[in-house]
Amino acid sequence: MSRDSRYLESILHHDIPLTREMGLKVLDWQDRQLRLHLPLQANINHKSTMFGGSLYCGAVLAGWGWLHLQLREEGIEDGHIVIQEGQISYPLPVTQDATAICQAPEDKVWKRFVTTYKRHGRARLALQTWIVNEGSEERAVVFTGQYVLHR
pLDDT tens by residue, 101-132: 999 999 999 999 999 999 999 999 999 999 99
**What pLDDT is attached to residue 2?**
85
For residue 9, the model assigns a pLDDT of 96
**How high is the pLDDT of residue 78?**
94
What pLDDT digit, counting tens, does each position of 4-50 carry? 999 999 999 999 999 999 999 999 999 999 999 999 999 999 999 99
What is the predicted pLDDT for the residue at 25?
98
Distance of alpha carbon 112 from alpha carbon 23, whole angstroms: 35
Number of Cβ atoms within 10 Å of the Cβ of 97 = 17
> What does the pLDDT look like over 76-95, one tens digit per residue?
999 999 999 999 999 999 99
What is the pLDDT at residue 124? 98
Query: So what's the pLDDT on residue 117?
Result: 98
